Amino acid sequence: MASGEGRRQRHHHDLVPLAVLLKREMKSERMGMGKPTLRYGHAAQSKKGEDYFLVKTDCQRVPGNSSSSFSIFAIFDGHNGNAAAIFTREHLLNHVLGALPRGLGRDEWLQALPRALVAGFVKTDKEFQSRGETSGTTATFVIVDRWTVTVASVGDSRCILDTQGGAVTTLTVDHRFEENIEERERVTSSGGAVGRLSIVGGVEIGPLRCWPGGLCLSRSIGDMDVGEFIVPIPYVKQVKLSNAGGRLIIASDGIWDALSSETAAKSCHGLPAELAAMQVVKEALRTRGLKDDTTCIVVDIIPPDNELPSAPAPKKQNKLRVLLSKMRFGGSTNKVSKNLSAVNIVEELFEEGSAMLAERLGNYDNSGKSTSGLFVCAVCQVDLAPSEGISVHAGSIFSTSSMPWQGPFLCLDCRDKKDAMEGKRPSGVKVS
Residue (84 or 380) nearer to Zn ion, CB: 380
Q: Interface with Zn ion by CB under 5 A: which range of 140-148, 153-161, 191-199, 412-420?
A: 412-420
- Count of CA atoms in the C-beta half-sphere (13 A) of 151: 27
H or E element in which residue 276 lies: helix 273-288
Q: Where are the alpha helices (DSSP H) in 45-144?
A: 83-98, 106-129
Contact indicator for 392, 412 with CB cutoff of 8 Å: no
Q: Interface with Zn ion by CB under 5 A: which range of 333-341, 386-394, 398-406, 409-417?
A: 409-417
Residue (346 or 420) nearer to Zn ion, CB: 420
Q: Interface with Zn ion by CB under 5 A: which range of 93-101, 290-298, 314-322, 379-387?
A: 379-387
Q: Least distance from C-beta 126 to Zn ion, angstroms?
A: 8
Instruction: Please tell me whether residue 379 binds Zn ion under the rule CB under 5 A.
Output: yes
- Cα radius of gyration (the chain): 23
Contact indicator for 160, 171 with CB cutoff of 8 Å: yes
Q: Least distance from C-beta 151 to Zn ion, angstroms?
A: 25
262-321: which residues touch Zn ion (CB under 5 A)? Answer: none
**Cβ-proximal residues to 22 (8 Å cutoff; 6+ apart), any chain:** 324
Contact indicator for 224, 129 with CB cutoff of 8 Å: yes
Instruction: Please tell me whether residue 377 binds Zn ion under the rule CB under 5 A.
Output: yes
Q: Least distance from C-beta 412 to Zn ion, angstroms?
A: 8
Instruction: Please tell me whether residue 168 binds Zn ion under the rule CB under 5 A.
Output: no
Instruction: Please tell me whether residue 411 binds Zn ion under the rule CB under 5 A.
Output: yes
Instruction: Please tell me whether residue 118 binds Zn ion under the rule CB under 5 A.
Output: no
Q: Interface with Zn ion by CB under 5 A: which range of 14-22, 282-290, 332-340, 373-381?
A: 373-381
Instruction: Please tell me whether residue 384 binds Zn ion under the rule CB under 5 A.
Output: no
What is the total count of residues that contact Zn ion (CB under 5 A)? 5
Residue (96 or 380) nearer to Zn ion, CB: 380
Q: Which of 236, 265, 380, 390 binds Zn ion (CB under 5 A)?
A: 380
CA distances 179 to 141, 174, 183, 222, 278, Å, are 21, 8, 9, 22, 28
SS3 348: strand
Q: Which of 414, 416, 421, 423 binds Zn ion (CB under 5 A)?
A: 414
Q: Interface with Zn ion by CB under 5 A: which range of 227-235, 249-257, 293-301, 370-378?
A: 370-378
Residue 228: which of 422, 92, 85 has the closest Cα? 422
Q: Least distance from C-beta 133 to Zn ion, angstroms?
A: 20
CA distances 170 to 8, 15, 178, Å, are 40, 36, 18
Binding mask 326-365 for Zn ion (x = CB under 5 A): ----------------------------------------
Contact indicator for 242, 344 with CB cutoff of 8 Å: yes
Residue (130 or 317) nearer to Zn ion, CB: 130
CA distance linking residue 286 with residue 127, whole number of Å = 39
Residue 419: which of 402, 397, 401 has the closest Cα? 397
Residue (98 or 304) nearer to Zn ion, CB: 98
The contact set with Zn ion (CB under 5 A) reads: 377, 379-380, 411, 414
